[in-house]
Amino acid sequence: MKDLILKRAYALDALIGFDCTKMEELRRNLAFEYAEQLEITKDLAAKAIDHTILSFNATEGDVLRICEEAARYGFAAVCVNPVWVKRVAEFRKESGAGFRIATVIDFPLGASTVEARVAEAEKAVADGADELDLVIGIGLLKSGKLRETYESMRAVAGVKCFLKVILEASALTDSEKVDAALLAFFAGAKMLKTSTGVNGKAAVDDVRLLRAVAGKSLGVKAAGGIRDKETLLAMMRAGADRIGCSSSVSIMENW
């Protein structure tokens, strides 16, 4: 698999033209052999969770509950829709909580213009977001518009915030998954994410693919359909170091 990924990276480089230092980084990533985590404690799992509420009808009360739970259980982050970022930042400041604030960009379709994506990202950062979960331009990718797909992510990476790119892997062919992961890597993603959880779910094989591209220089986030301890453990053992889920409290209480 790694040989195929590197071969495709060269083909994309010939088409688009990437920074040569990123190609060297990719070679190092592909040479990295991920060692499966055999012992994953409850505390380690909690520190990997992005406690998520992205439903269209989530109220302020729902969002504040998520924040309180994240603080109580020691979750890595809360992930909320952009409209709630400023309120979450206020809560964090008032409470002294240590979680990071993540929000989604061009969610869940990945179908906005570059200008709209950048504006949404800039506003989220101004409101207090620490991390941006950006949906890849799925329609662009499937249309073979690879340069446009790359540039739409690169523009958001320019906002200078920790960037996770959501590939929506379950909607892609195997070759599209490779292209999506590589384009996100070269565009400046700091973490590769499997799914939105709206249009697709995480799969162990997809996590392994993303870890191959990520090596030890990028993170991997599994999200979508992770509702119990066993699924969470499977994702982490496959190479996910962040887990996006809304069943976080249930997982912790039933550990």
Catalytic residue among 106, 179, 221, 241, which?
221
The encoded tokens of residue 156 equal 């958001």
Residue with tokens 């292209």: 179
164 an active-site residue? no
Catalytic residue among 164, 177, 190, 193, which?
193
Catalytic residue among 50, 106, 133, 206, which?
133
221 an active-site residue? yes
Q: Are residues 131 and 89 in contact, defined by beta-carbon separation less than 8 angstroms?
A: no
- Amino acid of residue 15: L
- Amino acid of residue 179: D
7 an active-site residue? no
Q: Is residue 221 helix, strand or coil?
A: strand
d(CA 93, CA 96): 5
Q: Is residue 69 helix, strand or coil?
A: helix
The encoded tokens of residue 59 equal 């109220």
Residues noted as catalytic: 133, 193, 221
